[in-house]
Structure 1
Amino acid sequence: MTTGDRTGMVAGRPGMAAVLAALRGGGASGPMRLLSTYGTLLALGLMIAVFAALEPGTFATYRNFRNIFNDMAIAAIIAAGLTVPLVGGDFDLSIGYVASFSGLLVVGLLSDNQWPIPLAVAAVVGLGALIGIVNGVIVSKIGVNAFIATLGTGTVVVGLNYAYSGGIPLQLSHGLSFTDIALGRIVGIPHLVLIMAAVLVLLWVVLNRTVQGQHIKAIGVSAENARRAGIAVDRCRIVAFAIAGTCAALAGVLMASNLGSGQVAAGDGFMLTSFSAAFLGSAALREGQFHILGTFIGVLTVAVGNNGLAMIGAPIFTQYLFSGGLLVVAVALGGIGRRYVRG
């Protein structure tokens, strides 16, 4: 593979020459490199083709795809936030718990304390950012492994969740227009889809068009080399965790708006979904690299699979088998890609 072809794939703009070069890679390396770069897109295209053939009158329609994008919007927001620390080489296992607590808290502030909607939303999203900052400080300043630190922080958040709610869902009884945030539409496009698009574009710009984003990428390659180059590694890692916490809290707020209530564990499952999407995305257009566009494709792949299974009347357990199997495949594809990048 030529330097130009490799650069084209790393930059996320692979052309036909890059595909042909990957196929001509020789032995098993060519197909495996191609799989690690286009595996998710191939899987997505195959699923769409199969489900469209099985249910042409219901699956392959504008209305159904609009529903898919609407249903995946909250997952895409939290997964995109997770992608930022992943780019920097860190994990955040607290995001699902933060989303659950945020949904409960915003409903409580609106119903029990009768806060104005903008103030309640801003306070909850700010709390999510603060939790992210705490994660970043524990990881970067104290030196605790990100896996352990964020799992511990997430467990503390679960405790706060139950302390605040008593383990009982909270119903929205004041500020009923709060549900318009998630359920409203503009020219037929759901608010959730528009918010998702805005968040994804903003995070893409942060990671690809700002100095901060370039520093986070450099840390993900080698934190020690980044430090030697004069990059404020600790500050960048804290910012990355703050972004993840902010997106998790925003997702929780949107989830509560969509449901019209605060559920104790409604966001917990987003952790698995987000990691599945991010790792699937690392096998979309790039060789094992986390990036916002890839994460969006990963979330879309999961959403299309679940939607298609529901359309054909598959038992509910198949969705769990699909999600778990997808995570294993995603991690495998990402590992293959990173192996070739290092090679």
Structure 2
Amino acid sequence: MSLNPRQSGIYVAFALIVALFAVLTDGALLQPQNISNIVVQNSYILILAIGMILIIIAGHIDLSAGSVVAATGAVSAVLMVNMDLPWPLAVLITLLVGAAIGAFQGYWIAYFGIPAFIVTLAGMLVFRAVTLTVLGNQGIGPFPDAVRTLANGFTPGFLGNVGLGPLGGADIVTLLLGLAAVAVAATTQWRARSARIGYDQAVDPLPVFVLKIAVPAIVMMFVIVQLARFRNLPYVLILLAALVVGYTLLTNRAVFGRHIYAIGGNKQAATLSGVKVKSVTFWIFVNMGVLAAIAGVIFAGRLNQAGPTAGINFELDAIAAAFIGGAAVQGGVGKVVGAITGGLIMAVINNGMSLIGAPSERVMLVKGLVLLAAVAYDIWTKRRAAGATT
């Protein structure tokens, strides 16, 4: 059985944390409405985590993400509320503004050679100042119904509900989408296993392989059933799922994704191999700006206003999600699904401790210790692997 402790440990930890808080909250954590709340309330952090994991894999960091969320949210509010532009056009302009912010920072990092830590630290201050200037140090709202629906709404029940016995009714479309997602995931893994066998590569025994598919499938269907029992699929979950699939394909299958790993693994070797290091670095920061703009629109839409304090500490949560999810401090290691899992761990800790009435200082203490433990575990497994090869 092939088991990479650095990659699989995070999923085991996630399962244990969920089980712990399920017990501590007498099952309230896993209730349909609460699961839906966890997804909706943390969607913008998970979106930021996707962009952050790419930057960390490449060996950089972004401290400005929260300020960019605030700035782009402020721009969207001015466009939609003050200027009364149609919301699709306003969102498009906001995404372009996010891309421009990412390009501005990416230029100084990639082509001028200033460390990302310094550039984005400056950006954190600059774009917070931009936010205050754009908003006039006051909130702007309310947002159009379509934007609020994207941030807080749920898909309608197109085919009605189906009875699930003691569980009550559940939306048919949501259940069908869940089954389709499980089938696609299982088929993809089966094809990958068949390809490895074709190349005479080592694979897990069939019972182990089936177990690796069955356990995530059961967990996924449990979550889908709970969402279907509450108010169907949140729109932000559909958006997040599309982003996860797209960026997973980018990192695993696309040349650009391989170049990101190459740069983080060994920048000099990547340069000698013909990787356009400056260009790749530039574009991952442009991508971060776009994702921060998406998060900015969703966060502002959820609150129904853009405020001057929006996005504070969002970058820290996104960075923590990436490192808890298995990213290496030195770069070159990490997965999009791992970053999402890390973000969900933070979300479950926040939600679970809130349900049991824990004070905010205790929540911060636990989150800090979890982050420290995740990085320590990464370093320990790396040293262990290095010792085994010597």
TM-score of the superposed pair, with normalisation by structure 1: 0.85
Match of 1:161 among 121, 124, 131: 131
1:219 aligns with 2:189: no
Correspondence list, 1:143-162, <5 A = 143-162=113-132
Q: Which stretch of structure 1 is more off in the superposition, 37-46 or 141-150?
A: 37-46
Give the C-alpha shift of residue 288 in structure 1.
8.4
Give the C-alpha shift of residue 341 in structure 1.
5.8
The equivalent of 1:134 in structure 2 is 104
Partner Cα distance (2:292, 2:131) in 1: 15
Partner Cα distance (2:107, 2:382) in 1: 28
Contact 1:171 1:260 in 2 (8 A): yes
Identity of aligned residues (%): 32
- Which structure 1 segments of 5+ residues have no match? 1-16, 23-33
Give the C-alpha shift of residue 99 in structure 1.
0.5
C-alpha spacing 1:226/1:267, structure 2 compared with 1 (3 Å) = same
Give the C-alpha shift of residue 335 in structure 1.
2.8
Partner Cα distance (2:288, 2:377) in 1: 24
Match of 1:124 among 82, 94, 118: 94
1:170 aligns with 2:214: no
Helix, strand or coil for the counterpart of 2:341? Answer: helix
Give the C-alpha shift of residue 338 in structure 1.
4.2
The equivalent of 2:149 in structure 1 is 180
1:98 aligns with 2:68: yes
The equivalent of 1:209 in structure 2 is 253
The equivalent of 2:325 in structure 1 is 281
1:49 aligns with 2:27: no
Correspondence list, 1:188-337, <5 A = 188-282=232-326, 289-337=333-381
Contact 2:63 2:316 in 1 (8 A): no
TM-score of the superposed pair, with normalisation by structure 2: 0.75
The equivalent of 1:11 in structure 2 is none
Helix, strand or coil for the counterpart of 1:92? Answer: coil
1:65 aligns with 2:35: yes
Give the C-alpha shift of residue 66 in structure 1.
2.5
Partner Cα distance (2:352, 2:140) in 1: 32
Aligned length: 310
Helix, strand or coil for the counterpart of 2:28? Answer: coil
Give the C-alpha shift of residue 327 in structure 1.
2.2
C-alpha spacing 1:175/1:71, structure 2 compared with 1 (3 Å) = closer
Contact 1:279 1:295 in 2 (8 A): yes
C-alpha spacing 1:134/1:334, structure 2 compared with 1 (3 Å) = farther
C-alpha spacing 1:316/1:110, structure 2 compared with 1 (3 Å) = same
| 1:184-226 deviation digits (Å, cap 9, x = unpaired) | 2114111111111111111111111111111111111111111
Partner Cα distance (2:14, 2:342) in 1: 9
| 1:282-332 deviation digits (Å, cap 9, x = unpaired) | 179xx9822101001101111111111111121222222122222222222
Helix, strand or coil for the counterpart of 1:56? Answer: coil
| 1:58-113 deviation digits (Å, cap 9, x = unpaired) | 22323322222222211100111111111111111111110011112111111111
- What amino acid is aligned across from residue 153 of structure 2 in structure 1? G
Contact 2:78 2:140 in 1 (8 A): yes
Partner Cα distance (1:302, 1:68) in 2: 10
Partner Cα distance (2:288, 2:93) in 1: 16
Contact 1:288 1:335 in 2 (8 A): no
Partner Cα distance (1:283, 1:230) in 2: 25
- What amino acid is aligned across from residue 182 of structure 1 in structure 2? A
Helix, strand or coil for the counterpart of 1:185? Answer: coil
- What amino acid is aligned across from residue 131 of structure 1 in structure 2? I
- What amino acid is aligned across from residue 232 of structure 1 in structure 2? K
Partner Cα distance (2:293, 2:24) in 1: 38
Give the C-alpha shift of residue 337 in structure 1.
4.0
Contact 2:40 2:152 in 1 (8 A): no
- What amino acid is aligned across from residue 95 of structure 1 in structure 2? A
Q: Which stretch of structure 1 is more off in the superposition, 215-224 or 57-66?
A: 57-66
* Cα RMSD after superposing both structures: 2.1
Partner Cα distance (2:382, 2:146) in 1: 47
C-alpha spacing 1:338/1:136, structure 2 compared with 1 (3 Å) = farther
Partner Cα distance (1:341, 1:249) in 2: 39
Contact 2:40 2:151 in 1 (8 A): no
Give the C-alpha shift of residue 152 in structure 1.
1.1
Partner Cα distance (2:244, 2:8) in 1: 21
- Which structure 2 segments of 5+ residues have no match? 158-231
Give the C-alpha shift of residue 276 in structure 1.
0.8
C-alpha spacing 1:180/1:158, structure 2 compared with 1 (3 Å) = same
Partner Cα distance (1:135, 1:171) in 2: 29
Partner Cα distance (2:334, 2:43) in 1: 19
Give the C-alpha shift of residue 40 in structure 1.
2.5
Contact 1:277 1:295 in 2 (8 A): yes
C-alpha spacing 1:60/1:278, structure 2 compared with 1 (3 Å) = same
Pair member with larger Rg:
2
